[in-house]
């Protein structure tokens, strides 16, 4: 079976890059030929790379040009089945890792820091309009839509009623051999000379703005329960801009680690993961932290909150630093018993089982004897 994995840009460092690498390796191990079709980037990996450098003016023009180039290539059927993780209009299967375009664009609270004009720009800018148009066409043409969480399923029901019948739930999962409470730990407490009673939290993400780094840092600066807490920041190279007052209150309690090859050791040492995200279809970093025994605070805007566990605290508003402080304090009080609960919460989320179910879908829609085999659609759940 020849499989095309399709993404407009590769190399941003986000979770989807690693997901595609691991998926390609899984497929290769089972005899599939894998081709990565990409608009920007030329990444080495367990695949052949087909770079569609199609030009286009501006971000919107590049996105449209890539979609047009892929559509022309896809019509020649150089592979048996194609899977896109971003909207490209004509892939056989669509797995929107970033969620739906309009929901992502509108995720930021329009009040306070984001005036109405900026909110409308995010919705009606050339790039936003182009991506929504590509998404609408992709939803129509895809043979199946694979939702990474129940949150995405509900958003499809609201925005694309015609696509509901071909939508399947294939929830994201993790590698339990990598993310486990057993294994090496970091020694950041000694490295940063933390007091014994100082809580140690971790933030992990490449898109600091969307994942809520500013909000997490403000909570440490302004909430009395967190005045001794320290925050490890992984993935982000530069700290956000802070007010003079917040900078004075923090007094060196924010530790920028940059990109890490392994994040699991930090999860094992930290008291909690702070992830007050603005929009996350299903945050794998939340699953990874829980699997390492690290409790998590996140928001209702995260599809991973469908996991029910005392170790997963959920707040409504990313800007609510008071709610975040109360939630994370309760998690710390839970001690080792709560950390064991965290591990148990994600035991059924095994990535190899997730990939095996995805392979079933790929085979279902790959041609056999010259004709595609279409079976009855059944929702898939991990």
What phi and psi values does residue 119 have, to the nearest 5 degrees?
A: -65, -45
Q: What domain count does the chain have?
A: 2
Say yes or no: 273 and 217 in one domain. yes
- Over residues 214-226, the mean pLDDT reads 95
> What pLDDT, on a 0 to 100 scale, did the predictor assign at position 114?
52
Q: Is 182 inside any structural domain?
A: no
Which one of 40-49, 226-235, 239-248 scores highest in mean pLDDT?
Answer: 226-235
Per the prediction, the chain carries an average pLDDT of 90
- Does residue 293 form part of some domain? yes
Q: Is 86 within the bounds of a domain?
A: yes
pLDDT at 51 over 60: yes
CATH number, domain with residue 21 = 3.40.50.2000
- pLDDT tens across 174-208, in order? 999 999 999 988 899 999 999 989 999 999 998 88
Q: What percent of the chain has pLDDT over 90?
A: 75
183 occurs within a structural domain:
no
* pLDDT tens for each residue of 67-107: 999 999 999 999 999 999 999 999 999 999 999 998 888 77
Q: What pLDDT, on a 0 to 100 scale, did the predictor assign at position 209?
A: 86
Please identify which residue in the block is written with the tokens 């009080």: 333
Based on the fold, state whether residues 50 and 109 are members of the same structural domain. yes
| pLDDT for residue 40 | 85
Mean pLDDT of 111-137: 74
Report pLDDT digits (tens) over 293-351. Answer: 999 999 999 999 999 999 999 999 999 999 999 999 999 999 999 999 999 999 999 99
Residue-number span of the structural domain to which 52 is assigned: 2-173+350-372
Q: How many CB atoms lie within 10 A of CB 159?
A: 16
- List CB contacts of 66: < 8 A, sequence separation 6 or more: 8, 39, 52, 54, 56, 88
User: Alpha-carbon distance 103 to 266, whole Å?
Assistant: 31
Same domain, 115 and 94: yes
pLDDT of 115 over the 60 cut = no
Q: Say whether pLDDT at 11 is over 90.
A: no
If one compares 349 and 371, the residue with the highest pLDDT of the two is 349
Q: Is the pLDDT of residue 380 over 70?
A: no
Specify which residues 360 forms β-bridges with. Answer: none
Shared-domain flag, residues 166 and 222: no
Q: Residue 119's pLDDT is what?
A: 60
208 in Cβ contact with 236 (< 8 Å): yes
CA distance 231 to 225: 14
365 and 286 in a single domain? The answer is no
The residue written with tokens 């004075």 in the block is 248
SS3 string of 307-325?
CCCCCEEEECCCCCHHHHH
HEC per residue, 49-112: EEECCCCCCHHHHHHHHHHHHHHHHHHCCCCCEEEECCCCCCCCEECCCCCCHHHHHCCCCCCC
Residues in the chain: 382
**SS3 of the chain: helix, strand, coil, percent, to 5:** 45, 20, 40
Q: If you search the block for the tokens 């840009």, which residue do you land on?
A: 9
Closest CA to 220 of 180, 258, 257, 252: 252
For the four alpha carbons of 310, 312, 316 and 320, in that order, the dihedral sign comes to positive
DSSP annotation of 292 reads: T
């Amino acid at each position: 079976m020849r499989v095309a994995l399709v993404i407009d840009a590769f190399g941003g460092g986000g979770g989807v890059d690693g997901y595609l690498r691991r998926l390609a390796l899984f497929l290769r191990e089972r005899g599939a030929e894998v081709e990565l079709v990409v608009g920007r980037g030329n990444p080495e990996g367990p695949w052949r790379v087909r770079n569609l450098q199609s030009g286009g003016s501006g971000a919107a023009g590049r996105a449209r040009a890539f979609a047009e180039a892929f559509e022309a290539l896809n019509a020649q059927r150089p592979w048996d089945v194609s899977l896109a993780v971003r909207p490209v209009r004509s892939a056989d299967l669509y797995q929107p890792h970033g969620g739906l375009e309009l929901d992502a664009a509108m995720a930021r609270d329009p009040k306070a820091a984001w005036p109405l004009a900026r909110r409308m720009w995010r919705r009606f800018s050339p790039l936003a309009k182009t991506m929504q148009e590509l998404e609408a066409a992709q939803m129509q043409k895809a043979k199946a839509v694979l939702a990474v969480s129940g949150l995405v399923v509900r958003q499809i029901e609201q925005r694309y009623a015609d696509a509901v019948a071909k939508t399947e739930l294939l929830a994201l999962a993790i590698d339990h051999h990598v993310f486990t409470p057993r294994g090496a730990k970091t020694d950041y407490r000694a490295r940063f000379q933390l007091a014994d009673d100082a809580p140690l939290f971790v933030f992990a993400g490449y898109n600091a703005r969307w994942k809520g780094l500013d909000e997490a840092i403000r909570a440490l600066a302004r909430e009395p329960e967190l005045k001794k807490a320290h925050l490890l920041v992984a993935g982000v190279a530069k700290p956000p801009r802070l007010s003079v007052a917040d900078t004075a209150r923090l007094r060196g309690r924010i530790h920028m680690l940059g990109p890490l090859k392994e994040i699991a050791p930090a999860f094992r040492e930290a008291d909690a993961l702070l992830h007050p995200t603005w929009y996350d279809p299903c945050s794998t970093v939340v699953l990874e932290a829980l699997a390492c025994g690290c409790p998590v605070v996140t928001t209702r805007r995260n599809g991973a909150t469908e996991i029910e566990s005392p170790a997963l605290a959920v707040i409504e508003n990313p800007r609510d630093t008071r709610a975040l402080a109360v939630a994370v304090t309760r998690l710390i009080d839970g001690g080792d018993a709560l950390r064991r609960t965290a591990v148990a919460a994600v035991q059924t989320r095994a990535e190899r089982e997730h990939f095996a179910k995805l392979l079933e879908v790929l085979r279902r829609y790959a041609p056999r004897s010259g004709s595609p085999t279409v079976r009855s659609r059944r929702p898939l759940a991990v």
